[in-house]
Structure 1
Amino acid sequence: MTQSLNVSTLPQFAQLTIQGEDAEKFLQGQLTCDVTKLGLSYQAAALSNLKGRIEFGIWIKKQAEKHFDVVISADCAESFQAHVKKFGAFSKFETSAPIAIYPCVLADEPTFSHKDDHNTPADTQAWMQCSIENGNYWIVAATQSQFQPQELRLHQRGGMDYDKGCYLGQEVIARIYFKAAPKAFLHYVKGSGDVPAAGDKLDKIQVVNAVATAEGFEALVVARPAHLDDSELTLLELPPALQADVARPQ
């Protein structure tokens, strides 16, 4: 049995629709993923700032020709909408107002649904647990501009494309990928005590997301391996695809 749910602290998400003649071209110049390769399933991606850090963590799918649905943490939705309107002011597309969408687990995968029967604390708790186990981090307002995509293993989840051409933050992100490697990167851990909040630091270890368990909490954190070795946290295994070295294969 997990700790009692605090409904007010559970994550909430919103969906925006971007559609029109220039929608794909615009998104291709903004996002880390290759928008031309998107399908009907949600793909994790990021919109970074000019320093190569994630400003908006999103999930995106191509709903139809020139029609894209974007899911984002609800506390980032308005600023994301403002960003799109600012940078897309001279492009031909429309952006909808944010509407609620609900996290849930379907076929053992974390996903989202508009159905009201998934708008429950139990569904959200299950999504959080499944997401953390699978490295499916979510960026909230408190963690905007905190992490580089490679630190969060986004390239190992298909959310980054190094051959697609220019996008916001691409120069910094590419330099890290081709000339260096993050010293701190995403890990899945468990710990005891109170559940830390997104963005909290446990000494030199930064929390991305955390969920309560019967013994304490489980979390996705960004840390150097040596700092984890020196901590009281227990390292757990991410899926095989996310266990690989974060550095570029030689």
Structure 2
Amino acid sequence: MILEKKYFTPQISTLSHNLPLTLIFLKEWSLIKFTGTDILQYLQGQLTCNINNLTKNFYNLTAYCNPKGKLISSMYIFYLKTGIGCIQRLSICHKQVTLMKKYAIFSKINIIIDNETIFLGFAGQGARSTLNLLFDKLPNEKKKIIYYKDSTILHFNLPKERFLILTNKKIKDSLTKKFKNKINFSYDNQWNILDIEAGYPIIDSNTSELFLPQETNIQNFNAISFNKGCYIGQEIITRMQFKGIHKRKLYLLFGKISRVPLSGEKLEYKKNTNNHWTIAGTILSACALNQGTVWIQAILNSSLKKNTIFRLHNSKKDNQITIHSSCMQN
């Protein structure tokens, strides 16, 4: 029996400043494990961050790109008790492993998907003080990741302090029983809205290999090294950076619409010059909030102005969807 389904109905997502203490059951993430004597050398040639700077006290946001410099997936990379782990979206996990194994033929490295690890988010008012009652130590700004018995805990400070717990079924069931009727329970959409607030790009299978990493905002989280040397897509990524060519950017949009858009759907805007609707960009993720409001993370043309009005591509006249842009992520 899946305990969390017994105890609650998924809630509408809540922004960080109003979020009560919440345990979040995450089903849309996956863990890839790398072991072997060549893992550092191998990953240095695969990912955008500088693996040589990775330490056991910190995780790093990074990207895996194709030879054309387009982002296949974004992920968090960190040391495990044995080897190195990467957390990325579940929808893209198998594709990523298949591609990585192609480049690992001549390296002493093992790449496996961990299907046993369970992901829990812990966020909201009093998150740290409550977790302190359960874990003897917790990560913080100076030590972003800790390993406690059978759990690994990652610390996030954006948009407000929250924790990502990698654990097993026994501990998950124990936490579920302990917090029954005491705190809020939720699912992936709640974690997603916090990522959207923070500016972390949410790359799923529908948006994989569509954008350069700089277009997704990850360079603002130290996810790209522009001087570490060669990696897949490095030449194009570096050239675009030093030429200052940024045709698209990550935007945060919000408004009241009739349905929650899907990842990969197109947005269009009305040009003042000819009154025609023109493609503006692509939706990465969207979450419903209270009172019919939807927040959308999208990559749009960088020339668009704040408060531009959008709609979903090919919306019917009687179901026109408009969204007002705000809080652009640079």
TM-score with structure 2 setting the length? 0.64
Query: Which stretch shows the higher mean deviation, 109-118 or 176-185?
Result: 109-118
* Equivalent of residue 97 in structure 1, options 113, 134, 153: 113
* 1:47–1:57 CA contact under 8 A, matched in 2: yes
Matched, 1:202 2:267: yes
Query: Which stretch shows the higher mean deviation, 25-34 or 172-181?
Result: 172-181
- What pairs up with 1:11-30 in 2 under 5 angstroms? 12-30=28-46
Structure 1 runs not aligned, ≥5 long: 4-9, 244-250
Aligned partner letter, 2:308? D
Aligned partner letter, 2:195? S
Aligned partner letter, 1:43? N
Matched, 1:237 2:327: yes
Matched, 1:74 2:139: no
* 1:15–1:69 CA contact under 8 A, matched in 2: yes
- What pairs up with 1:1-250 in 2 under 5 angstroms? 2=12, 12-39=28-55, 40-64=57-81, 67-99=83-115, 100-102=117-119, 104-106=121-123, 108-109=161-162, 111-115=164-168, 116=172, 122-193=186-257, 194-203=259-268, 204-214=280-290, 215-224=292-301, 225-226=303-304, 229-231=307-309, 232-237=322-327, 243=330
Structure 2 runs not aligned, ≥5 long: 1-10, 14-25, 129-160, 177-183, 269-279, 310-321
Name the % identity. 24
Pairs aligned (count) = 233
CA deviation string 1:191-249 (max 9, x = no partner): 221111111111113111111112331121111342654324333436xxx54xxxxxx
Aligned partner letter, 2:191? W
TM-score with structure 1 setting the length? 0.83
Distance 1:105 1:175 in 2: 40
> Quick one: structure 1 residues 59 and 112, their matched pair in 2 at CA, closer, same or farther if it must change by over 3 Å?
farther
Distance 1:103 1:191 in 2: 29
* Cα displacement (A) at 1:69: 0.4
* Cα displacement (A) at 1:105: 3.8
* Cα displacement (A) at 1:34: 0.6
* 1:199–1:206 CA contact under 8 A, matched in 2: yes
> Quick one: structure 1 residues 114 and 85, their matched pair in 2 at CA, closer, same or farther if it must change by over 3 Å?
same
Distance 2:293 2:27 in 1: 19
* Cα displacement (A) at 1:129: 1.4
Distance 1:121 1:146 in 2: 34
Aligned partner letter, 2:73? F
CA deviation string 1:158-197 (max 9, x = no partner): 1100011010001110110011321220111212211111
CA deviation string 1:68-121 (max 9, x = no partner): 101121121112111121101110111123325425245523635335358997
Larger Rg: 2
Aligned partner letter, 2:294? F
> Quick one: structure 1 residues 121 and 137, their matched pair in 2 at CA, closer, same or farther if it must change by over 3 Å?
farther
Aligned partner letter, 1:201? K
Distance 1:20 1:46 in 2: 21
